[in-house]
Chain A
Amino acid sequence: MNASNYAILLVEDNPDDALLIQRAFGKAKIANPIVHVDDGDKAVAYLSGASPYDDRSKNPLPILVLLDLKLPRRSGLEVLTWLRAQAGLKRLPVVILTSSNEKSDINKAYDLGANSYLVKPVGFDALFDMVKTLQPYWMIFNERPDVAGSLAD
């Protein structure tokens, strides 16, 4: 299956940031559908295929998760902890995309199994550059692991 059909799950509570990120993906002409949820519980529900995300044809399992840390209901690190504990899903690549560049947050994220950590830049051009590299790196160059229930099966 073509890599450009795989979905990217964006977990971001700030609507401005979500919009700008999606605009950046659009400007970089990335074809992958961006699925956006705005809190931690919805992220867990989506990834586990719980209602209202149980129809996998409409809510495909993503092959990459862009995860903010400061989320309502369940924090990004809690989502990550949950994900890494799921037998089938635990290999799913997760890129933290957040505003914090505190060493403690970075270290904790890697400790809990994040694959990469990106800090949201203030300038849009910088965000655009970041997004431009995301797609080829994670979709094309990166070797994807087996994840249960993903479209790659």
Chain B
Amino acid sequence: MSGAGVQASPSFSARRRFPIAAQVGATYGLTAVLLMLLGLGAYDSSQRLSDIAIEGARTQRILIDLTSIQVDLLNAETGQRGFVITGKDEYLAPYLDAQRDFAPRLATVRLLEGRDDEQIRRIDSLADLGHRKFRELDETIALRRDRGLQAGIAAVDTDAGRKLMDEIRQVVNDVSAVEVNRLAANQAAAISAAHQFELFSIFGIVASLVVSVMIGGFITRRIGQRLGDLTRAALAVSRGRLDIHVSVAGRDEVSTLGEAFNRMIRRLKEATDALDSFAYSVSHDLRAPLRAMQGFSQALIEDFSESLDSTGRNYAARIAAAAGRMDQLIQDLLTYSRLGRADLECRPVALDDVIRFAVDGVSEEVHRNGGAVDVVGAPPLVLANRAALQQVMSNLITNAVKFVAPGTPPRIVVRCEEADGRVRLWVEDNGIGIAEEHHQRIFDVFQRLHGAETYPGTGIGLSIVRKGVERMGGTCGVQSELGRGSRFWIELAKAEGE
């Protein structure tokens, strides 16, 4: 009987308990915590991804705006050149648009750059360059307007405008380069965050599954195993073994049950042992005075017959008879109590031997009364305890012989029936019969239907029959009517083999 782990301690309150509800709760709790961590991790990853996306969008916006600014400046230059060549105002449209859009766009970029000082510095220099560019463009346009084509061309030819443009291009490239790097880093971060989220999810789900299944399975198995151990122990006790001690591991309700079970068995054993000593004492100490009563009253009759008249001899005889009855009662009670304790070990027993022995026991009395006992058919082997079965058989047969109407020779038939692996043995007599309303009572202890003068007996014989048969896993009963004889039956399992 063992579950791995700690031996039960003598007092219930001595240890910290870890009830089953707590175990299950802890398992669910742990699983829930794992899932929650998974959820938090997922949330964190998704936040991160969202931040990364926002960051990426910002970078791209900056790049787009820078491109637009560059395009604007180029358009402005183109417009200016167009005007210089043609002198027509409509060619100034792109120049005017660019002039209008430059500052706001740059302001947007500055805003988007946030607190990056390097970039802000570059944007400031871009602003400055832009202003100078527009001033240069303005001057050239004014020259063309005022002094005509040649003056305009000459101004363009100075390359001042182109040089400025180059500087502007350089700054824009610098700013862009930083942003492009940022974009690359941003993408890498996004991929990494996605990976993390993937790993987290897979790991989290698997871990939760494993934990819940393993722990849940472990707990269930432990509970099941230990309850199984306890059940087996209880069954062993029910079959009569009282030396059982269960060692139940753990600190929960099941281990408490184990401790309680052990205590219960100890008390049961104490009670049974007490009963055994009591029966033992009864057997010996109560019978000694009976021996004296019977022996000396008989000695009185035999050795002092001259001194005793018939009344005296009568009295002495009654003393002897009373002692004899008491002895019979004690023996029957002891037999009954001995049957009470355990299921009897059964093995194949030859019914005909048992029947013959019981019949031999009454043959002298039967012959004296001119009766007969017939055994019909071949009684088979049954699964029984020989001693108990012998007792049962003797009781049934002696009853059959005893309970006849005065002067009637007893005629008894013993026969067997077999069906479905069971053997039913009938003891049929031509006796006084039993009224229907008493059919159940007669199998109870101390139930007698007749006075001691008419049919002597202890009232325990049939209780021994019923208890003995039940302890061998069988059943018994009676069919009878008052004045029409009785048919007692017992039913036991048939035994296989020879």
Contact = CB atoms under 8 A, between A and B. Distances in A.
Interface of A: 14, 16-17, 20, 23, 70, 99-102, 120-125, 127
Given A16-B292, A17-B292, A102-B280, A122 B287 contact: yes
Contacts of A121: 291
B327 A122 contact: yes
Contact of A17 (B283, B288, B298, B324): B288
Nearest to A127: B295
What are the 7 A-B residue pairs with the smallest beta carbon separation, nearest first?
A: A16-B292, A20-B295, A122-B327, A124-B295, A99-B284, A124-B298, A122-B290
Contacts of B295: 16, 20, 23, 124, 127
Interface in B402-438: none
A121 B290 CA distance: 10
Most buried by B among A14, A99, A102, A122: A122
Given A20-B291, A23-B299, A127-B295, 6 more contacts: A16-B289, A16-B295, A99-B291, A100-B283, A122-B323, A124-B299
B284 A122 contact: no
B444 to A, nearest CB: 27
Contact size range, B: 10 to 19
A70 B284 contact: yes
Most buried by A among B288, B295, B298, B299: B295
Most buried by B among A14, A70, A124, A127: A124
Nearest to B280: A102
Given A20-B296, A122-B327, A124-B299, A102 B283 contact: yes
A17 B327 CA distance: 16
A26 to B, nearest CB: 10
A20 B292 CA distance: 8
B299 A14 contact: no
A19 B324 CA distance: 19
Contacts of A99: 283-284, 287-288, 291
B294 A124 contact: yes
Nearest to A120: B291
Contacts of A70: 284
A125 B295 CA distance: 8
A17 B291 contact: yes
A133 B287 CA distance: 23
13 contacts: A16-B288, A17-B291, A17-B292, A23-B299, A100-B280, A121-B291, A122-B287, A122-B290, A122-B324, A123-B294, A123-B324, A124-B298, A125-B298
Contact of A100 (B284, B292, B299, B323): B284
Contacts of B323: 122
Nearest to A20: B295
Contacts of A17: 288, 291-292
Interface string B104-130: 000000000000000000000000000
Nearest to A104: B280
A127 B291 CA distance: 10
B358 to A, nearest CB: 20
A101 to B, nearest CB: 8
Contacts of A120: 291
Contacts of B280: 100, 102
A119 to B, nearest CB: 10
B288 to A, nearest CB: 6
Given A23-B299, A122-B324, A14 B294 contact: no
Contact of B291 (A100, A122, A125): A122
A122 B294 contact: yes
Contacts of B283: 99-102
A102 B295 CA distance: 23
A101 B283 CA distance: 9
A16 B284 CA distance: 14
Interface in B300-338: 323-324, 327
B296 A14 contact: no
A144 B291 CA distance: 32
B318 to A, nearest CB: 15
A67 B290 CA distance: 20
B474 to A, nearest CB: 24
Contact of B296 (A16, A101, A102, A127): A16
A125 B288 CA distance: 16
Most buried by A among B284, B291, B294, B296: B291
A149 B290 CA distance: 39
Contacts of B290: 122
Given A99-B284, A100-B283, A16 B291 contact: yes
Contacts of A100: 280, 283-284
A14 B293 CA distance: 13
Contacts of B284: 70, 99-100
A127 B280 CA distance: 22
B132 to A, nearest CB: 125
